[in-house]
Every structure is written in structure tokens, then in C-alpha cells.
Amino acid sequence: MQKYIDVAKSVLQQNLYVRKDEQVLIVTDSELLDIAEIFQAAGTELGNETVLMEMATRSKSGEEPPRIVSEAMRSADVVFCITKHSLTHTKARKEAAKGGSRIATMPGLTLDMLEEGAITADYSEVERLTAKYCEILGNGEQVEIRKGNDKLFFTIKGRKAIPSTGVFREKGESGNLPSGESYIAPLEDSANGTITIDGSISGIGVLNEPVTLHVENGKLAAASGEKGKQLLELLGDGEGRTIAEFGIGTNKKARLTGNVLEDEKVFGTVHIAFGSNKSFGGQTEAGVHIDCVIKEPIVFIDGERIV
């Protein structure tokens, strides 16, 4: 167990830059309590006041935590969200970051992920690649994703590209950990076309057969197969089906494991998401955010091939 605590201590020091006088909050649920306790022990060993809060497991990614947890997140200097479902795209995370908390969201974290994969990356390289793709996204307008005979088109004009490097030095910085992606919120009604998802879907896992998505005027209109049916059920019938995110993986150590925390960071993949995006520059609050990972796509931005 001490080897995992040592890894967690390294994360606190090398990724969150925790200082001696800072208070650390660990938000967790019954599903990941054992791993959260590792981070609590790491903070304590480093001499920081470290508090663990366990809440009921959320039903899906993007669902808000209880008010008492949201308030605690705003009060802490450093927050780790080690939960089954992601708190990344919640108002609680956004408001805590706005107040100055540094936040690492680690949905679905496993012991295996503390030993190898994305968390072992050269994060200076991750920062460099992430900045490169953020510059491209930030200056871009029209996106085209090709996969086989499928094509999906959407607009990102006027939207801000977000770097997720897994390194949080300053007040208010937040994102996934392990990390490595550049992402942006497409204009909500701009997406049209068909795209095949052949990597993984958050909440569903690695796909044993591809799922074909059909998008009309920004809304997911249809999804093939049993996994497609599950995706539609997760998103619901309302705003959850609105396109929310386009992201590019920038972590060369990340693996496709079925855990979207790592899957969407794999270098050479991109992902699209549906549901909430107001927390990073969009307009949708849907109470759900589901990512869909595409392996080895061809991506054009304003006619120039970038992936």
C-alpha cells in the first residue's frame, strides 16, 4: 500500500504543487473510497490538513454533488474528486475553481492507473502538445472528422480552447488527472453528419463493436446497436443529446482501458461529447456529459489536416 501512497504524494507535489500551508479536500463515494483513502494518507504524510468527504454515488457523469460538498470544494485550497462518475463538468467544480481552488477530477481512478499508463507520462511533453493543439483549436472555425466513409462537421468559431495538462500550479486551475487533452465547445446547433465511435464511451466502456452516430443540427438523432441504445438512455431525451465537446488526446502514455478518464487522453484519438458544456464556454446545462472516443480519425480544421 505504501507504494500507492508514494505515487499519490508525487501527484500532490508534482501535479498540484501542494504547499505546506494548504488544506486538501478529497471528495469521493463508496465506489472509490479505498483509493480516496490513499490520497488522504498521502496528504497527511506530507503534513497537510487533509479532509475526506464521502457522498452517495452519482448516477451519471455531470450530475451535481450535494450542496455541502460544493461548499467544501469552494473552501479548500486543493481538491481531488475521486468518484465513479465525473464531476468535471459540474457547476460545483466551476464555482470552486472560480473561487481559487485547484481541482483535479479523477473519475473511475483505479490502482492500475496509479502504477502505469497516463499518470506516468512526461508532463512537460503533455503540456507542449496540449498547447499546440489548443492554439490550432482557438484559431479555428470549421471542423471535419473523417472515419472510414463517415464525416461529421461542426463549427468552433468564437469558442475558447481549453488545455487539460494534468498540471495545476495557480489558483483556480482545474481539470482531469491523469490528463492530456485539448478541447473546445462546438456551437451547439452546428454539428451535422455521421461518425463511427470505435474506442469507448464513458459509462459503457471499451466497445466490442463500433457505434455509428447520426447528428442533425447539433443533436444526436440516432445511434446504432445495443451500445448506441445505452448511450441514448444515458443522455435522455432532452438537452443531453446536444453536442458539447470536441477533444484531442495529447498523452502518449495513455491507454484505451474502458475508463474514459484515460481513454480520452490517448494520443492519436479524438473524442466528441454530448450534454453539458456551460462549465467550459458552451451554453448547455443538461446534468449529464458523455464522451465518445474515436481511434485514429482524420481531422481537418479549416481545410488543413491536423490529426
173-192 pLDDT, tens digit each:
999 999 999 999 999 999 99
Kindly state whether residues 107 and 215 are assigned to the same domain. no
Kindly state whether residues 251 and 134 are assigned to the same domain. yes
CA 119 → CA 179, 250, 255, 286, distances in Å?
Answer: 8, 13, 10, 30
For residue 294, give the H/E element and its range.
Answer: strand 289-295
Last residue of a domain, one of 91, 115, 139: 115
Crossing angle of helices 2-14 and 33-45, in 10° steps, is 70
Distance CA 82, CA 93 (A): 13
Last residue of a domain, one of 62, 88, 115: 115
CATH code of 92's domain: 3.40.1830.10
Kindly state whether residues 84 and 156 are assigned to the same domain. no
What is the three-class DSSP state of 164?
A: strand
**pLDDT tops 90 at residue 152:** yes
Backbone angles phi, psi at 119, to 5 degrees: -70, -15
DSSP 9-74: HHHHHHTS---TT--EEEEEETTTHHHHHHHHHHHHHTT--EEEEEEPPPSSTTPPPPHHHHHHHH
* Contact yes or no for 58/85 (Cβ under 8 A): yes
Q: Give me the domain span that covers residue 207.
A: 119-305
Backbone angles phi, psi at 196, to 5 degrees: -100, 125
Return the DSSP state at 304: E
**pLDDT tops 90 at residue 249:** yes
Return the DSSP state at 57: P
**pLDDT tops 90 at residue 275:** yes
Q: What is the pLDDT of residue 221?
A: 98
**pLDDT tops 90 at residue 307:** no
**pLDDT tops 90 at residue 82:** yes
Kindly state whether residues 111 and 244 are assigned to the same domain. no
Give the distance from CA 32 to its chain's centroid.
17
Q: Where are the alpha helices (DSSP H) in 46-172?
A: 67-75, 91-98, 123-139
Kindly state whether residues 104 and 133 are assigned to the same domain. no
Kindly state whether residues 106 and 138 are assigned to the same domain. no
C-alpha closest to that of 178 among 98, 247, 259: 259
Distance CA 24, CA 30 (A): 19
Kindly state whether residues 137 and 251 are assigned to the same domain. yes
* Contact yes or no for 272/233 (Cβ under 8 A): no
**pLDDT tops 90 at residue 194:** yes
Give the distance from CA 146 to its chain's centroid.
22
For residue 272, give the H/E element and its range.
Answer: strand 269-275
* Mean pLDDT for the stretch of residues 211-221: 98
Instruction: Give the total number of structural domains in the chain.
Output: 2
Distance CA 299, CA 184 (A): 14
Q: What is the pLDDT of residue 92?
A: 97
Kindly state whether residues 94 and 231 are assigned to the same domain. no
Q: What is the pLDDT of residue 242?
A: 98
Q: Which three cell numbers stand for residue 175?
A: 481539470
CA 218 → CA 60, 68, 194, 242, 277, distances in Å?
Answer: 22, 35, 12, 6, 13
What is the three-class DSSP state of 15?
A: coil
Confidence of residue 118 (pLDDT cuts 50, 70, 90): very high
Q: What is the pLDDT of residue 101?
A: 98
* Mean pLDDT for the stretch of residues 227-235: 98
Residue-averaged pLDDT of the chain? 96
Kindly state whether residues 20 and 35 are assigned to the same domain. yes
| 102 DSSP β-pair partners | 78
pTM: predicted TM-score of the whole model, two decimal places: 0.84
* Mean pLDDT for the stretch of residues 204-233: 98
* Mean pLDDT for the stretch of residues 87-111: 95
Kindly state whether residues 301 and 284 are assigned to the same domain. yes
Kindly state whether residues 103 and 137 are assigned to the same domain. no
11-36: pLDDT as tens digits: 999 899 999 999 999 999 999 999 99
Is residue 252 packed enough to be buried (19+ CB in 10 Å), middle (13-18) or exposed (0-12)? middle
In terms of residues, how long is the chain? 307
Last residue of a domain, one of 80, 115, 150: 115
**pLDDT tops 90 at residue 129:** yes
Return the DSSP state at 203: T
**pLDDT tops 90 at residue 241:** yes
Kindly state whether residues 177 and 162 are assigned to the same domain. yes
